[in-house]
Chain A
């Protein structure tokens, strides 16, 4: 549906996990504050369980592509939507060639401005698939708060990290504890189950071990959008987590874009695995003191590191600058 006053942007956010999707929703919220609407394309297996539309401005839409589809079928759906829609801007998250390499033949025929959200990428992919050439199809590169291969490009603009909530939207500590179903007092460890489904199971195991180790010293909450099988610990289905950050004394998770940036900007202590990804380099994003390499190390360090969290400082949310830039580029197709 096209907005009556603002612009309407198509956001390509294909990719596993929650990273691409959460970044797209964050941008959608930023667009809404400037009276624009968005149509988000995603294929995350988590998307079906999440109330994505509730986060977006009225008139926006989310197309959840079946995560089980192969690249040819996905390419067919993408081609249909990208070439036949009526949009003021096309925003492509992370993959200038598309997740399955389906965009290069489509991009030259798309008349509206094209914006690439240029996150860090595996350098071998950048080299072997000539990503620098694919980037030339884009009118603007938005670098969301971390170094990227083409962040020195003449069309690149580096913004603050993109977050799903602004500073003034965070809950106070008491409200956050209630949302997390945590006791009113005492330390709180939050274990985040995200990434691949098997990794959700791993994090559930860690949460269970931490709960036993920290009994009487701290509460442990396991947050996961979906569980891979049954686990010993009860999980809380809370997404997004950022609004409740003031209650979290220690965050245990992985090195994905959202977890790490949310922890860094809010000064939340973080311990994280750097999971292997095809494109994303979690080791490059995590600070050395945050990185953990085994389950037992995670439990040991979490127990040793537990303490009161620092206050959340004022922070800038890069989605607002990004939305302003896209709106400046955007015009009728």
Chain B
């Protein structure tokens, strides 16, 4: 079992961000402290989503857990050029006086990306 810190996994559908849940386990591969949601039981032991994903990718096992989904599962989503999902909607409605206040903007992206993206504990040549 892990200590009393927060889960150190970073996940997100649009942008990766810190998880706010309390850590309950440690990843057997990288040692990261992880919560229930980001814990995966594998043949190699308890793993975080990142390590479990890498292990499954290497072994080419089928992926059926939504936590492992990435951009490749949603190809074209979020693009608005002709031929992509949403083009018709934006082509006909996206004018200067039309704006959905719940739209996710670049400013929102910056707010969730500001912290923890420095690569701490990833660079083995850092000092």
- Residue numbers of A with Cβ under 8 A of B are 14-17, 19-20, 43, 45, 67, 69-72, 74-75, 94, 97-106, 122, 124-125, 128-130, 133, 136, 196, 256, 277-280
Contacts and interface: CB of A to CB of B under 8 A. Distances in A.
Given A101-B30, A125-B118, 5 more contacts: A19-B127, A94-B127, A97-B31, A99-B121, A278-B123
B4 A101 contact: no
Contacts of A69: 124
Given A71-B30, A72-B29, A277-B127, A130 B6 contact: yes
Nearest to B119: A278
Interface of B: 2-6, 8, 18, 26, 28-33, 51, 115-116, 118-127
> Main SS of the interface on chain B?
loop
Among A67, A106, A129, A280: residue with most chain B CB under 10 A: A129
A129 B31 contact: no
Nearest to A102: B31
Contacts of B28: 105
Contact of B26 (A15, A20, A100, A105): A105
B126 A101 contact: no
A45 B51 CA distance: 26
Contacts of A104: 2-3, 26, 31, 33
Given A130-B6, A133-B3, A101 B124 contact: no
Nearest to A101: B121
A224 B127 CA distance: 18
Contacts of B116: 128
A14 B125 CA distance: 8
Among B4, B31, B32: residue with most chain A CB under 10 A: B31
20 contacts: A15-B126, A16-B125, A19-B127, A69-B124, A70-B124, A72-B29, A74-B124, A75-B29, A75-B31, A98-B31, A99-B124, A101-B32, A102-B30, A102-B31, A125-B118, A125-B120, A130-B6, A133-B5, A278-B118, A279-B127
A67 B125 contact: yes
B122 A71 contact: yes
A127 to B, nearest CB: 9
Contact of A129 (B2, B120, B123): B120
B62 to A, nearest CB: 23
Contacts of B121: 71, 97-101, 129
Nearest to B123: A278
